[in-house]
Amino acid sequence: MLRLLSGYWFSQTLYVAAALRIADRLAGGPKTADVLAEEAAVDREALFRLLRALSSTGIFAQVGPRTFALTSLSETLREDREGSLRSVALLGGHPLHWQAWGRLLRAVKSGESAFEAAHGQGLFDALRENDELGAVFHQVLTRAPELEQAIADLIAPLGFRRIIDVGGGTGELAARLAGACAGAEVLLFDREEVLNSAPARVGVKLEPGDFLAGVPLGGDAYVLKFTLHDWPDSEAIRILSSCRNAMLSDGRVFVIEVVVPDGSEPSIAKTHDVNMLVLTGGRERTLAEYEGLFASAGLKLVQSTSTPSGASVLEAAEIRGPS
């Protein structure tokens, strides 16, 4: 219990280590705290104390007097490592994120976003105004290329001709879809300020807009990856309804989320659900809850496919009345 109670110490010390790029600076081999402090332009004694504390739990290794090296844990913080967790550390310890968690009690009492209570604006408004936070946020969303490839591999054999990636960020999934779905038009749809940061990608067209107001017409596949969990049920139903109204009669909606299991077994989705309460007022959902959202939007679940990453691809089609 004491270790759990001090958990926030680790999120902050790891944030500082990530911000100072300590893992990257140690990639070539051990260094003293004095050398690292000089490279990072920070106080030598304070950095030594930080690294000593992190080494005591196995995150770094103290291999000599005031000298530190990487371990398998701190290797994950290297920015050049595939699947790097550096952006996760930077997001989790960012002052705006950190301060929002300080309002968790208020969020539990009210059921409303702690982020808005802490900062007087929603997360997505803050992302528009804070370039640093916005960049880290999108890095976190794009750190799972194996998931994006799994999604593309599932969708490609279905032969869609016009695929809309709704709220697709800077376009990593859209690029995978364009590469896997030969001959298909792939449209990346997100806010203009997000698309301004999206690199040019072969086979991907950009269209700015607000999916709460509507989505592009005429698609036969609408893909929403880690989008619905950002929103309470009313907005999630609105987004799904927009997709249903915009898509062709034989179209499909693909929702990619980490589904909360029904039983009592441990699941990261259950703890991440509290993070959604803190950040956006949204929520993670069970499969039955997603089926309820689909039904409210005039859709029905056709298939649920689990991926190796732990996320599920939920395929939905329009509910049609008797002919």
pLDDT of res. 260: 97
Q: What is the CA radius of gyration of the chain?
A: 22
Structural domains of the chain, with CATH: 2-90 (1.10.10.10), 94-140 (no CATH), 142-318 (3.40.50.150)
Report the residue count for the chain.
Answer: 323
Beta carbons within 10 angstroms of residue 173's beta carbon = 27
Helices (H), the chain: 2-5, 7-19, 22-25, 33-40, 44-55, 72-75, 86-92, 95-101, 104-110, 114-119, 123-129, 131-141, 145-155, 172-180, 192-195, 233-246, 268-279, 287-296
Residue 172 to residues 4, 76, 91, 121, 215, Cα–Cα distance (Å) = 35, 21, 19, 28, 19
* 170 φψ region: left (φ > 0), alpha (ψ -120 to 50), beta (else): alpha
Predicted confidence at residue 322, as pLDDT, reads 62
**Helices (H) then strands (E): counts for the chain:** 18, 10
One digit per residue, pLDDT tens: the chain, 323 residues?
Answer: 998 999 999 999 999 999 999 999 999 999 999 999 999 999 999 999 999 999 999 999 999 999 999 999 999 999 999 889 999 999 999 999 999 999 999 999 999 999 999 999 999 999 989 988 888 998 888 777 899 999 999 999 999 999 999 999 999 999 999 999 999 999 999 999 999 989 999 999 999 999 999 999 999 999 999 999 999 999 999 999 999 999 999 999 999 999 999 989 999 999 999 999 999 999 999 999 999 999 999 999 999 999 998 999 999 999 986 64
CA distance 300 to 310: 22
| Side-chain half-sphere CA neighbours of 174 within 13 A | 28
CB 205 within 8 A of CB 187: yes
Which token pair is 164?
A: 């809309």
Q: How far apart are CA 121 and CA 93, in angstroms?
A: 19
The confidence score (pLDDT) of residue 141 equals: 83
d(CA 114, CA 122) in angstroms, rounded, equals 9
Contact predicate 223/155, CB 8 Å:
yes
CA distance 239 to 145: 25
138 is catalytic: no
* DSSP code for 199: P
CB burial of residue 148 (10 Å; 0-12, 13-18, 19+): buried
Instruction: State residue 121's pLDDT score.
Output: 95
Would the pTM of this model clear 0.85, i.e. be above it? yes
Q: Residue 323: what pLDDT?
A: 46
Residues 42-79: b if buried by 16+ CB within 10 A, e if exposed: eeeeebbebbeebbeeebbbbeeebbbebbebbebbbe
In contact, 88 and 80? CB cutoff 8 Å:
no
Q: Of 147, 130, 108, 139, give the one whose Cα is nearest residue 278.
A: 108
Q: Considering Cα of 80, then 83, then 87, then 93, what sign does the dihedral take? A: negative
Catalytic residue among 97, 119, 229, 272: 229
